[in-house]
Amino acid sequence: MEHFSDINKMYKKLNVRADMIYEFVILYHNYIYAQHTYEAENCNMMEIHTLTYIDDSPGITATELSKIWHKSKSAISQTIKKLINSGYVEKKYLENNEKTARLFTTEKGHQLSNVHKAYDVADIMQTTAYLVEQCSEEDLDAFYRILEQYIGLLKSEIQ
């Protein structure tokens, strides 16, 4: 029983940090999938970032997007379908290849992508300014270095 007592003590100590990560992930997930208004258009962040990625990578495929976003092809296809139905994205097939749909933004989609980029620049600058008031720039740089390593760790566990 002594062994479990030691494990319990260690768990309580280590779990404080793990719980912070869990809370951050849950809160950020909810934030990403909440509706946001960009130029009177309501999209969640996954939709608007997918649109912007298509705008920045004309001709990208749903399969390529699913790998980039670590989402199932079905989930990405639902997002793309919404963007197509809203008039932001269109599918085109290359000559002699009716299997692979290439994705392109419409003019309406391109304009919304640019609005989103301006919004993101302002939001990232505001968030960074807030964080630098609370922590040093060195802390923030360390956070992003750690985040990069954590992402690498998670990717290696998925593969």
pTM score above 0.85: no
d(C-alpha 90, C-alpha 101), whole Å: 9
Query: Residue 152 domain-assigned?
Result: yes
Query: Residue 9 domain-assigned?
Result: no
Domain that holds residue 131: 34-158
d(C-alpha 135, C-alpha 128), whole Å: 10
d(C-alpha 67, C-alpha 54), whole Å: 14
The residue-averaged pLDDT of 109-127 equals: 94
CA dist 73 to 44, 70, 76, 80, 141, Å? 18, 9, 5, 10, 34
Query: Residue 143 domain-assigned?
Result: yes
Closest C-alpha to 56, from 109, 108, 94, 92? 109
For 58, left (φ over 0), alpha (ψ -120 to 50), or beta? beta
pLDDT score at 2: 67
List the beta strands (DSSP E) in the chain. Answer: 35-38, 41-44, 89-93, 101-105
Query: Residue 25 domain-assigned?
Result: no
List the beta strands (DSSP E) in 5-130. Answer: 35-38, 41-44, 89-93, 101-105
Query: Residue 112 domain-assigned?
Result: yes
Query: Residue 42 domain-assigned?
Result: yes
CATH number at residue 135: 1.10.10.10
Residue 158 binned pLDDT confidence (cut-offs 50, 70, 90): confident
How many domains would you assign to the chain?
1
Number of H helices, E strands in the chain: 6, 4
Query: Residue 13 domain-assigned?
Result: no
pLDDT score at 56: 98
Q: Token pair for residue 101?
A: 């749909």
Query: Residue 15 domain-assigned?
Result: no
**Per-residue model confidence as pLDDT tens digits over 40-50:** 677 888 899 99
The residue-averaged pLDDT of 22-30 equals: 91
